[in-house]
Structure 1
């Protein structure tokens, strides 16, 4: 799968995996006129599925950043994704929802409101701004949300829900015949 782009500085590549076990990325950089550009491998056999014969990682969202690449990701002219799936269990494999992010322009200097750039000392109470909720109430609600998320994370099970396979095989008694 080859993608064309105008000369850009790649920062991040995101996609949804669909049963691809390994990914390699090759790029071609923009070069001066009359100089042939060569394909350079920037990522070699990146593992997307720990075991190509099972479903783990088969439909995960993946983000790859420029610091993970083996080569410079600036002045990229073309990008080639090489997908591999050595398992015969999956008849088709691809990547979906592919998004490529390039380095944006430098953000302009922002002006901050006075109350944010000049903090008030602790001796005097901070003036209450119109439209903002009570800080103690917000703090209490955030603590409650944090406690709930910790309880959910602690009770999270690692059992897979979905198919009726055991060690990559199906139990014929669990399948319906139609």
Structure 2
């Protein structure tokens, strides 16, 4: 099934300070990015793609349309401390492209209204970290080509070629019997044919002068 991007509005990252802000050691170790979907409305999220930029861990919270007995203002954690850099102090995974899918989430991702991305980088080696090229996808309408492929792979009973071919073929036992009879007739004809050489002018091993004179 095809996927289509969901229009979204990505708000600016908000830094949560870690350490004493009055000292040089104080630096933002956590960023929060809110994502809204003002034109999409509630939708079922299928995939998130982005390019990492020195973010070590990612958590995601989701706000969904609530049931009649549940408020829609409640945030639910759907991804917790997903590792983007195996070692925050090394560059492995620091600038990788990442895809997160619906089945990796901790809750159902239907009726999504808003997402909150929580980025963490505990290492003091990297001055900046974020997520770039963020995109969100939902299922698109079924294309005509995929429907045609499905029709070919599941033909109707009266369209199944194997059944039509089976009905058109003759009975194999009958064909075998007729072939056997033809073979026997061929052998009989071959056995009845003479192998003696017939001369052109000889009669009982002698030549007739009258026949020779006419030629």
TM-score (norm 1): 0.60
Q: What do the CA deviations read for 1:20-66 (whole angstroms, capped 9, x no partner)?
A: 00000000001257952200000000000000001000000000000
Pairwise CA RMSD? 2.7
Partner of 1:2: 34
- Residues 1-178 of structure 1: matches in 2 within 5 Å? 1-5=33-37, 6-31=41-66, 35-37=70-72, 38-108=74-144, 110-111=147-148
Q: Which stretches in structure 1 are left out of the alignment for 5+ residues?
A: 120-178
- Taking the aligned partners of 2:107 and 2:81, their CA distance within structure 1 comes to 15
- Taking the aligned partners of 2:43 and 2:141, their CA distance within structure 1 comes to 12
Question: What secondary structure, in the 3-state scheme, does the structure 2 residue paired with 1:87 have?
Answer: coil
Question: What secondary structure, in the 3-state scheme, does the structure 2 residue paired with 1:10 have?
Answer: coil
Partner of 1:150: none
Structure showing the higher helix proportion among its residues: 2
Name the structure, 1 or 2, with higher relative contact order (CA <8 Å, separation 6+): 1
TM-score (norm 2): 0.50
Shift of 1:7: 0.9
Q: How many residues align?
A: 119
Q: What do the CA deviations read for 1:101-150 (whole angstroms, capped 9, x no partner)?
A: 012234456336xx99888xxxxxxxxxxxxxxxxxxxxxxxxxxxxxxx
Structure of greater Rg: 2
Q: Which stretches in structure 2 are left out of the alignment for 5+ residues?
A: 1-32, 162-215
Question: What secondary structure, in the 3-state scheme, does the structure 1 residue paired with 2:52 have?
Answer: strand
